[in-house]
Structure 1
Amino acid sequence: MERSGTVTPPYVAGPLHLGPFRALRMAPLRVGDPATARTFGRSQRKVLDRLARWEEHGQVARDRVPALYVHEYTAAGLTVRGVVGVLDLSRRAVLPAERAVLPHEGVRPAQADDLADKLAEIRLHPAPILLVHRASETLRSLTRGQVARRPTHAFRDRIGQEHRLWAVTDPDEIAAVQGEVAPSRVLIADGHHRYAAYLRLQARDPGGAADHGLVMLVDQTDTPLHLGAIHRVVQGVSLPELTRAVTSIGGTGDRVRRSAALDHLGPDHLVATDGEHWSALTLPTGSGRSAVELLHEAVLPSLPRSPRSVDYHHTAEKAAAAARPGKAVAVLLPAPDVDHVVAVAADDRLLPEKATSFQPKPSPGVLMHSLLDG
């Protein structure tokens, strides 16, 4: 499917296979360090030389035994836990029922190609992509059993995230986790372009190390990522024009006080402001579309002229601050529903660009996968 210059990446076929790997781990003071992140943007030789130098000086550790890992991290008071391993990417789904990894955002082919080129150069996955699912009770119990033990590693990184790691090396325990993961259907929460780059690299060099990509599988029931909205600022549009566009598709618009505006947000309700006036916009129900879908598919096309641009903000406060009477309207959106996002992806649909914000993300460098290790 193609939409606004983006495409849906290929689907990996189930059953999912999450394999153990020999992790590379940055020293705690390197994790979260901006200088570390900049290193991964350099050329192949510089990245490999820097990693070798860090490993020589004890700033990068290489685990001797392949393992699956339970990674628990805490950021801004929220604790997230997941299983980290290398996902088999070698089989593509032909039928919808075979799809096991579900993207919900489109990817830009050129960006995915560039990332694939970079992975091919540095031969390293610096961080896992984040996948979410509803784990089985058995998998949840297996994970909690690991967490009841003493962590293999525990530390606080440079930006204040707390990390705990458990290396699962026992073959029977690995097999038990793999058996529970196998029938899962998972949603990409973060890392759509890296996922597409994984698949491009695998297609270029099948049968080797690129057959596997580093992932973290988060149980969205047990220790969920926070799913927030990303708000819009529509440039070149007035608040009355936006309100008339909503009413033209069967919705309603009512002026509200600024102090109570956010109380009106809901699955079918937007809030808009031009910085001076505030409106609660009720969208037509029964379409099966989320608020962000209706905004882009129905409301914006109903404006008398196309917006000059649409800007994105992760907080309502920053979006509202960018609004200007007669010039720019901030459109504040409700937080998406995870199960609706899964349903959209399972239906082979894409949400509009920047429709979801899964947080918090772990710092890169906690667990890395070297493609040189196979």
Structure 2
Amino acid sequence: MDTGAVVIPPYVGRPLRLAPFRGLRLTPRRVGDPASGRLFARPYRAVPGRLAQWQERGQLRHDGEPAVYLHEYTAAGLTVRGLVGALDISHRASGPEDRAVLPHEGIHPVQADELADRMTELALNPAPILLVHRAPASVRAVVHQVLATEPEDDFVDRNEQRHRVWAIRDPDLLATLDDGLATSQALIADGHHRYAAYLRMQRRHPGGANDRGLAMLVDQEDTPLFLGPIHRVLTGVGLDDLAAAAEVVGAGFDVVDRTAAVHALGPTTLAATDGRRWAVLKLHLPEERAAVEQLHEDLVPALPRGPQRIEYHHSVETTLDRLRRDSIAVLMPAPDVDLVHQIAADDRLLPEKATSFQPKPSVGVLIRSLRDG
């Protein structure tokens, strides 16, 4: 895909609002089951009929009354809670101070168009995008008040995730959420292309169901998503090439052993290896700049050759396993959430695959039908 086509999606304006919707929910034994993917398979126009069949068979539930949902999931010992609702995307921000949702990665317009076409044919938002924010006290109080009650769902899915779901329908609680979220600003953690697809659908058919898109809003102070690094393998590049680039940009470059290189990883320090030698790159970064920005904007352009290709991997082990002759692995530090938010607020884009917010919930816990309006 042509990286030159990367653009910033439009900004949604305040107030940030999660509207109630009638949740579609796969039964617990279907959540996390790879076979459930056929529900959303081609032909997409047949999906509403499949939904009806699954509902008749008791494999899918469609709530009778709209709600904003509290969804708590636990994966690998980490628990995340978020409010799930229909995000109001009906109006665009009038200026920087009016932005409700901040993207931090660029999107490929063609990919966003394809997703918009698919969701239109599906007549569904199959899964919520993930947003993170720091909730005001009033919103957090509602969440903990709801937590004190019995959940409507409590189960472990096929991916070994535990899910608890509450439906919030009390008018007073919904009004408190509306008031509390109105001035909030959320960062997109996962789903940049789906967010852009929502905006395309809304622009094509404003005034109806497409004025909203399914989103999960996570309080990063209460139950934070883990923000991990994404490492790189640069093909067609040697360690000496990286040393030359470091000299050009004024970064330190020291050959060390593996243990020292890995232990040196930090906000301004990268580790690199060709599988035989190891090195540490010490970057000189201003406070408002991330290490991944300097790698892609300064170091890679300064390489005397390559890279022919860049691969992205979440674990050190996988990254090192993918090393081949005439390639290097660059191990990255995890970005700081507040720094990512500041970069997004400054209208800057992080390079592709810069962040990895984890864990993500299994698909099928909450789905939104566009036929409900």
1:372 Cα deviation from its structure 2 partner: 0.1
CA distance in 2, matches of 1:138, 1:261: 45
2:342 alignment counterpart: 343
Q: Is the 8 A contact 2:267 2:291 kept in 1?
A: yes
Paired residues for 1:94-173 under 5 Å: 94-173=94-173
Is residue 138–residue 176 contact of structure 2 (8 Å, CA) maintained in 1? no
Could you give the per-residue CA deviations for residues 298-343 of structure 1, whole angstroms, max 9, x where no partner exists?
Answer: 0001011231011111111111222245x00100000000000000
2:45 equivalent in structure 1: 45
Corresponding residue number in structure 2 for 1:178:
178
Where does residue 354 of structure 1 map in the other structure?
353
Q: What corresponds to 1:187 in structure 2? A: 187
Residue type at the aligned position of 1:73: Y
Q: Deviations over 1:263-317 (max 9, x none)?
A: 1011110000000111011012327321100000000010112310111111111
Q: Give the TM-score normalised by structure 1.
A: 0.97
Q: CA deviation at 1:3?
A: 6.5
Q: Show the counterpart of 1:302.
A: 302
Deviation (angstroms), 1:353: 0.3
**Which residue in 2 is equivalent to 1:266?**
266
DSSP-derived class of the 2:261 partner: helix
Structure 1 residue runs without a partner (length 5+)? none
Aligned-partner Cα distance in 2 for 1:197–1:348: 20
Contact 2:274 2:328 (8 Å CA) reproduced: yes
Cα deviations by residue, 1:143-180 (Å, 9 ceiling, x for unpaired): 01111111111111111110001111111111111111
SS in 1 for 2:93: coil
CA distance in 1, matches of 2:285, 2:235: 26
Query: Mapping of 1:221-370 within 5 angstroms?
Result: 221-286=221-286, 288-324=288-324, 327-370=326-369
- One-letter amino acid of the structure 1 residue matched with residue 335 of structure 2: P
- Once residues 42 and 176 of structure 1 are traced to their aligned partners in structure 2, the CA distance between those partners, rounded to angstroms, is 41
| Structure 1 CA distance for aligned equivalents of residues 41 and 231 of structure 2 | 29
Q: Any stretches of 5+ residues in structure 2 without a counterpart?
A: none
CA distance in 2, matches of 1:54, 1:3: 40
CA distance in 2, matches of 1:112, 1:290: 26
Percent of residue pairs bearing the same amino acid type:
57
In 2, the alpha carbon distance for the partners of 1:7 and 1:293 equals: 16
Q: Which residue of 1 aligns with 2:85?
A: 85
SS of the residue corresponding to residue 351 of structure 2 reads coil
Q: Provide the C-alpha distance between the structure 2 equivalents of 1:45 and 1:12, rounded to a whole number of angstroms.
A: 29
Q: Output the amino acid matched with 2:22.
A: R
The AA in structure 1 aligned to 2:302 is S
Aligned equivalents of 2:95, 2:45: Cα separation in 1: 41
Once the two structures are TM-superposed, the CA of residue 96 in structure 1 deviates from its matched residue by: 1.2
Amino acid at match of 1:364: V
The answer on whether the counterparts of 1:249 and 1:284 sit within 8 Å (CA) in structure 2 is no
Query: Does the aligned pair in 1 maintain the 2:39–2:51 contact within 8 Å?
Result: no
Question: How far apart, CA to CA, are the structure 2 residues paired with 1:100 and 1:287?
Answer: 24
For residues 163 and 118 of structure 1, what CA distance do their matches in structure 2 show? 27
Measured against aligned partners, the alpha-carbon deviations of 1:59-118 in whole angstroms (never above 9, x if no partner) come to 111111111111000011100000010011110113111111000001111110000001
1-side partners of 2:332 and 2:82: how far apart?
28
Q: What TM-score comes out, normalization by structure 2 length?
A: 0.97
Contact 1:3–1:106, Cα closer than 8 Å, also in 2? no
Q: Within 2, Cα distance between the matches of 1:122 and 1:194?
A: 14
Task: Please give the alpha-carbon distance, in whole angstroms, between the structure 1 residues aligned to 2:54 and 2:292.
Answer: 45
How big is each residue's C-alpha offset from its partner over 1:45-72, in whole Å with a ceiling of 9 and x where there is no partner? 3311211111001111111111111100
Cα distance in 1 between the residues matched to 2:354 and 2:38: 27
Secondary structure of the structure 2 residue equivalent to 1:4: helix
- Per-residue deviation, 1:244: 1.8
| Kept in 2: contact 1:322–1:328 (CA 8 A) | no
Q: Which amino acid in 2 is paired with 1:314? A: H
Question: What is the distance in 1 between the residues matched to 2:138 and 2:333?
Answer: 33
Q: Does the Cα contact within 8 Å between 1:16 and 1:88 map onto a contact in 2?
A: yes
The residue aligned with 1:371 is 370
Q: Deviations over 1:2-53 (max 9, x none)?
A: 9632111110001112111110100011111112123313223331121111
